[in-house]
Amino acid sequence: MDPRIWSKLPPEILEYILSFLPLKTFLNLRSTCKSFWSLIFTPPFINKHSSSSSSSSSPFSNFLFLSHPQFHHSHFTLYDCNHATNDSSSLHHSSPSSSWFTTLVSSGGLFCLSDPTSCSLLVCNLLAKTSRKIQYPSFNLHLEHLTFVTTPKGYTIFVLFSHSSSSPSSSSSNVFVYDSKVLSWTRFEGRFGVNLGDNIRQHQGVYFNGGLYFATPEPFSVVKFDLGIGKLERPIGVLPNQVTFLRLVGDGGEGKKMYLVGGVGSNGISRSIKLWEFCEENDYGNYWNEVESLPDLMCRKFVSVCYHNYEHVYCFWHEGMICICCYTWPEILYYLVSRKTWHWLPRCPSLPLKCSCGFKWFSFVPNLYAAV
């Protein structure tokens, strides 16, 4: 179209046209001209985009975000959950992004990355192109575990650090919590005293009822870390019998529901995979209520995928879905809570056929106003 025609369009007409753009085009359009930049960041445009997109709580489509070692560091695959399409997108950020960033985790439209070379964390909003660099509390600390969760009032970063100079036999984990409301770290004295396994790569804590909950490897348990007083409480509820692995899943930062995904079997081999919901009762105490069991055929496939190496299994919440993934498998098994049905998300066509491991999926619900 002739640029002179564009310049004469009324703002409300232009807003209406732009509101139909998919996220990838939206991201590319921001750098076209200053008028587009200022226009598409206004509340009227966001409202129109929301009404033309879907019933999602986000103004934009919600995505499943795939990271893999064979992808270029700024090239990721997005699965549009509203339109059931895969899209390979290049998501660039205003801050320098390179392969030395590790521990990519997401929550509430924000991503958190760690940079061991500079002893810092980077929290960024890819949509708004904003970021905050958060320095470690001390430069002689080694990051052992990171949990990044958004809450109704901001976000919280829970980390376990050990002193780099300590020997493995004498090392102890120190708990630090970063609160975005005050932009500072709080250190909780004493040893954490709980083995979280290989959580630095896959398993995060879950925000629920004002605290962070963690599932531990054998001996299995669910523990709560009270963010207010820094106190560790254990165990939380009586666990099901004969579990072979456990993973906790929250409800996406709302902190109202918490689920438990686990295998049930013997001798470390899962014969079935079940889903439980955490229930709080004043008279009978807390307990885990069984919600669903994975159908037998789907269970056989999933067990064969992870080869009974359950350390490769991780779970997360995404817009009403409980996603169960395996670090060595490109597909996602998910449970649709509203319909109480199980499904497989097909393999991403952008992946090379010989990819063997390193598949890491995230929930990406773009939020233009998520503050870093």
Q: What is the pLDDT of residue 56?
A: 47
Q: In whole angstroms, give the CA distance from residue 287 to residue 277.
A: 8
Collect all residues with Cβ–Cβ distance below 8 Å to 293 and sequence separation of at least 6: 272, 273, 274, 275
- Extents of the domains making up the chain: 1-50, 51-364
Q: Which of 22-26, 314-318, 322-326 has the lowest mean pLDDT?
A: 22-26
Amino acid at 84: A
Which 3-state string (H, E, C) describes 160-225? EEEECCCCCCCCCCEEEEEECCCCEEEEECCCCCCCCCCCCCCCCCEEECCEEEEEECCCCEEEEE
Q: In whole angstroms, give the CA distance from residue 200 to residue 264.
A: 25
Residue 59 has pLDDT above 70, yes or no: no
Q: What is the pLDDT of residue 104?
A: 77
CATH for 51-364, among 2.60.40.420, 2.120.10.80, 2.60.40.1220, 3.30.310.10? 2.120.10.80
Q: Which of 34-38, 43-47, 299-303 has the lowest mean pLDDT?
A: 43-47
Q: What share of the chain is helix, strand, coil (3-state, %, to 5)?
A: 15, 40, 45
Q: Chain-wide mean pLDDT for the chain?
A: 80
Alpha carbon distances (Å) from 44 to 7, 30, 108, 184: 19, 16, 22, 34
On the CB side of 151, CA atoms within 13 Å amount to 21
206-208 vs 211-216, strand pairing mode: antiparallel
Q: What is the pLDDT of residue 275?
A: 97
What pLDDT band is residue 244 in, cutting at 50, 70 and 90? very high
Residue 165 has pLDDT above 80, yes or no: no
Residue 301 has pLDDT above 90, yes or no: yes
Residue 183 has pLDDT above 90, yes or no: yes
Alpha carbon distances (Å) from 128 to 36, 77, 91, 184: 14, 19, 11, 23
- Average pLDDT of the segment spanning 318-331: 92
Phi then psi for residue 333, to 5 deg, are -95, 125
Residue 14 has pLDDT above 50, yes or no: yes
Residue 19 has pLDDT above 60, yes or no: yes
Q: What is the pLDDT of residue 218?
A: 82
Q: Which of 3-12, 85-94, 140-149, 325-334 has the lowest mean pLDDT?
A: 85-94
